[in-house]
Structure 1
Amino acid sequence: MQQGQILFVSHMFGRFGGLEIYNLDTVHAFQNHTNVQVISAFTSRQEIYERISMKGLLPTQPLLQRIYRRTWRFWLNLALNSLKKDVDLAVAGHVLVLPQVANYAKKQGIPYWLLVFGIDVWGNWSKEVAKAIEDCDRVVAISEYTAESVRRRLVRNKDRVVVIHPAVDLDKFFAGSNANGSVNNDPLIILTVGRLAASERYKGHDLIISALPEVQKQIKQRIEYWIIGGGDDRLWLEQLADEVGVADSVIFKGAVIESELIEAYQRCNVFAMPSYVTQRPDGNWTGEGFGIVYIEAAACGKPVIACDSGGQTDIVVNGLTGLLVKPTVDDVANALVELLSDPKKSQQMGEAGRHLVGEKFRRELFNQKWTNLLSQLEIY
């Protein structure tokens, strides 16, 4: 491939969330073929980050941050217009920065792409965003669910919407030998990994907590529900656990480092995150555009319980790698009982899940898909 340069513009950049990790992995995939310059609208760092040249525009001082957040579009446009004119492709890592990226690309006469995830594009589009998406040379979605949501609203260029699923490192995330429940005094562990955001409340922590009394009634072994992730909704969930009488069984782990996360996946008996798609009164949507935690758990050989709508339907094969349920307490309770009471079935589903991850979501395949997409441009 010919050496060119890609401009990648994100709203945030780093290894701290599913969307941000996808952007980071995408930039690394680009670096296999060309130089990449990253501009991040809401990151303060200006450094080499994981071998990536990045310019963060967010000021470090609190007062300047408040001013910047009201005027960030101006500063992003200024940063883009000050770039040298040696960019061959512009990529918007989030629809929030798409209008600025589209304007820059059109001025330079270069193609531009957009990455889409889920709730960022499920809701209503402004006229400016709709026009910019229509004119995109490529829209890359992380799931078929999100891709179809975009295609339905495009007047033209529907075939420009493609899917590149997130990837997981199978050398890091693997089935361990320390799963709980092998002896009677071991607790059986249900695990959820996800932020606790009061503004969202769609990941299903409350459904699992509310289902625990029925699960405990049917499963004679002690059960623990581990919650990894932080946020402002913890107090509400603690109160809910106390109200339904399972406070001693719900363990909030908070934010953890990667090695602790992997150990939790390996130790749990079932990974459950019944995240569901719903439209809020303000017209915005909630739900999983994909959910990388599902493939991380599957890579560690665990059966997965998820809801039957959203991007997770690309991942969980009902009855083979896990169970897809309706977002009700009864459905969640029944699924948990089914898997916790049948270790053999759980093991078979976990093994099938890891096999599926190896077939569809491994890192090498992710990189190859980006290579194939770049090869369609004459400059690469």
Structure 2
Amino acid sequence: MKEKITIVCTAFPEINNPKVIFTFEMAKALKDAGIDMEVVDLGALHIQSDIAENEYNGIKIYRFKRKARSAYFKSILKYRKELKRILKQRESDAIVLSFLRWEYIFYFDLIRKNSKKIGWIVHGQDAMCLWENKFITTIKRRMLKRVDNVFPVSDYTKFLVETILPPKEYHKIVLNYNGVDKEKCNKALNLSKEAARAYLSLPEDIKIVLSVSELKKRKGIDEILRAEKIIKEKQIEFLHIIIGRGDERQYLMKLAKDLGISNSVKFIDFVESGEDLMKYFRAADVFALLSKTMYKPTAVEGFGIVYAEAGYMGLPVIAGKSGGVNSVVLDGYTGFIFDQNESQLTLKIADKLIQLYTNKDFYNFISINAHDFIETKFDWKLYGEKLIENLI
């Protein structure tokens, strides 16, 4: 008989909205490893009734409709009754909680009672946000003490978990890096760089820098643009493709114009297809995103999946010193990490970009290292195996 694992989460891909990748990739990795998988989604968006059942990629999902907090409280008794039925009938060998969500407070006693073991997946942002509310922090700390394992997804997140739990509980902490979607990446890698550029109607003979992110101040794209002004002044031709939406878009467009590099910067709102997005990674020469950690409100790169995807695609990464980035980018080996507050930042970024553009051996050294490092360490199969090793 197959071992049974049930994932409880607050966001799982919907039939017409396959955008929530972490929990799905975890479920898929466990299913591929031979585990009998089911998912309970406590935050479903696109369902008509309060509770629904369906399947996604062969995984059975129980969906509980997401509501505003005031309305959600009115549904708790109904949701608890249904969850109790599901878990009692299921008799899971283990239950995995995905992300450190406040909603679990109302169901934790049922989850603890109806599973032999509990694992909790913790990301940087949700762990960091604990410190904004002392009451929620206290409740979540108590729940974390009662689980069998806590799985932080980066070294930085592990550090945050260690600030939440007392030292006597550290034995239950198991570092487990997220993986990259190798199938999606490999489809793009099967194309030559020239073919990817032709498909996307991009120029063949200049260097391309790629940034993929929500356009917020803390992402540091403005610093990349300032560095590119220096590069432009040295008569080095480049194209910087910025993919994403956000409050900083108009500011970044104006900054590029004021710096005199607007003809070398291309803004793209959104790329619908994940496969097409990876073609932009394939077409690029460098990935650049200079994220930094902010504390009010809290914002951090808990892991930085785009850095991992860029590395797997062989792109040297220009990164900011934020949260879990150090787990994914090795400074001087697979890319370069900068502190947004360091002196002469613009000149230092420009210098590294120029080195990558003009020194082929240097570029190849960083590019090969980046791919090999990510391929070896950030694998969903390894991720699933570590969960099974500790929970089954």
Root-mean-square deviation (CA), in Å?
2.8
5+ residue gaps in structure 1?
none
| Number of the residue aligned with 2:357 | 340
Residue identity over aligned pairs, in percent, reads 24
Partner Cα distance (1:355, 1:104) in 2: 43
The yes-or-no answer on 1:162 pairing with 2:162 is no
**Which one of 92, 96, 100 corresponds to residue 97 of structure 2?**
92
Partner Cα distance (1:113, 1:9) in 2: 10
Contact 2:100/2:123 (CA < 8 Å) preserved in 1? Answer: no
Q: TM-score, normalised by structure 2?
A: 0.82
Partner Cα distance (1:141, 1:95) in 2: 10
Q: Structure 1 71/297 Cα, relative in aligned 2: closer, same or farther at 3 Å?
A: farther
| Number of the residue aligned with 2:11 | 12
| Number of the residue aligned with 1:172 | 184
SS at match of 2:29: helix
Contact 1:173/1:296 (CA < 8 Å) preserved in 2? Answer: yes
The yes-or-no answer on 1:55 pairing with 2:54 is no
Contact 2:303/2:323 (CA < 8 Å) preserved in 1? Answer: yes
The yes-or-no answer on 1:195 pairing with 2:229 is no
| 1:275-318 Cα distance to aligned partner (Å, 9 max, x none) | 122322xxx42121111111211111111111234211112112
Contact 2:25/2:380 (CA < 8 Å) preserved in 1? Answer: no
The yes-or-no answer on 1:80 pairing with 2:83 is yes
Q: Structure 1 29/347 Cα, relative in aligned 2: closer, same or farther at 3 Å?
A: same
The yes-or-no answer on 1:149 pairing with 2:160 is yes
Contact 2:76/2:106 (CA < 8 Å) preserved in 1? Answer: yes
| Number of the residue aligned with 1:228 | 243
In the TM superposition, what is the alpha-carbon distance from 1:211 to its structure 2 partner? 2.5
Partner Cα distance (2:69, 2:151) in 1: 32
Which amino acid letter does the alignment assign opposite residue 86 of structure 2?
A: L
Q: Structure 1 232/70 Cα, relative in aligned 2: closer, same or farther at 3 Å?
A: farther
SS at match of 1:166: coil
The yes-or-no answer on 1:288 pairing with 2:305 is no
In the TM superposition, what is the alpha-carbon distance from 1:350 to its structure 2 partner? 0.8
Q: For structure 1, which segment, 267-276 or 206-215, has the greater mean C-alpha deviation from structure 2 after superposition? A: 206-215
Which amino acid letter does the alignment assign opposite residue 56 of structure 2?
A: Y
| Number of the residue aligned with 1:310 | 323
Alignment length, in residue pairs? Answer: 360
SS at match of 1:186: coil
Q: For structure 1, which segment, 104-113 or 187-196, has the greater mean C-alpha deviation from structure 2 after superposition? A: 104-113
| Number of the residue aligned with 2:200 | none
The yes-or-no answer on 1:277 pairing with 2:293 is yes
In the TM superposition, what is the alpha-carbon distance from 1:76 to its structure 2 partner? 4.4
In the TM superposition, what is the alpha-carbon distance from 1:268 to its structure 2 partner? 0.8
Q: Structure 1 170/94 Cα, relative in aligned 2: closer, same or farther at 3 Å?
A: closer
Partner Cα distance (2:9, 2:204) in 1: 49
In the TM superposition, what is the alpha-carbon distance from 1:9 to its structure 2 partner? 1.7
| 1:206-237 Cα distance to aligned partner (Å, 9 max, x none) | 2222322122223x232211112233442332
Partner Cα distance (1:78, 1:252) in 2: 49
| 1:292-351 Cα distance to aligned partner (Å, 9 max, x none) | 111211111111111234211112112111111122542433332332232331222111
5+ residue gaps in structure 2?
198-202
Q: Structure 1 338/40 Cα, relative in aligned 2: closer, same or farther at 3 Å?
A: farther
Q: Structure 1 72/325 Cα, relative in aligned 2: closer, same or farther at 3 Å?
A: farther
SS at match of 2:356: helix
Counterpart mapping for 1:95-110 below 5 A:
95-96=100-101, 97-108=103-114, 110=116
| Number of the residue aligned with 1:121 | 127
Which amino acid letter does the alignment assign opposite residue 209 of structure 1?
A: L
In the TM superposition, what is the alpha-carbon distance from 1:266 to its structure 2 partner? 1.2
Partner Cα distance (1:8, 1:24) in 2: 10
**Which one of 363, 370, 374 corresponds to residue 387 of structure 2?**
370
The yes-or-no answer on 1:327 pairing with 2:340 is yes
Partner Cα distance (1:149, 1:293) in 2: 21
| 1:101-130 Cα distance to aligned partner (Å, 9 max, x none) | 422223436432211111110231521111
| 1:175-228 Cα distance to aligned partner (Å, 9 max, x none) | 4531699xx9723111011222x5xx322222222322122223x232211112
| 1:223-253 Cα distance to aligned partner (Å, 9 max, x none) | 2111122334423322333333333222122
Contact 1:7/1:87 (CA < 8 Å) preserved in 2? Answer: no
Q: Structure 1 40/230 Cα, relative in aligned 2: closer, same or farther at 3 Å?
A: farther
Q: Structure 1 291/73 Cα, relative in aligned 2: closer, same or farther at 3 Å?
A: farther
Which amino acid letter does the alignment assign opposite residue 144 of structure 2?
A: I
Normalized per residue, the structure richer in helix is 2
In the TM superposition, what is the alpha-carbon distance from 1:75 to its structure 2 partner? 5.7
Q: Structure 1 333/69 Cα, relative in aligned 2: closer, same or farther at 3 Å?
A: farther
Contact 1:143/1:289 (CA < 8 Å) preserved in 2? Answer: yes
Partner Cα distance (1:227, 1:76) in 2: 42
Q: For structure 1, which segment, 49-58 or 106-115, has the greater mean C-alpha deviation from structure 2 after superposition? A: 106-115
The yes-or-no answer on 1:255 pairing with 2:261 is no
Partner Cα distance (2:323, 2:316) in 1: 18
Which amino acid letter does the alignment assign opposite residue 317 of structure 2?
A: V
Which amino acid letter does the alignment assign opposite residue 300 of structure 1?
A: M
Contact 2:95/2:111 (CA < 8 Å) preserved in 1? Answer: yes
Q: Structure 1 79/208 Cα, relative in aligned 2: closer, same or farther at 3 Å?
A: farther
Which amino acid letter does the alignment assign opposite residue 318 of structure 1?
A: D
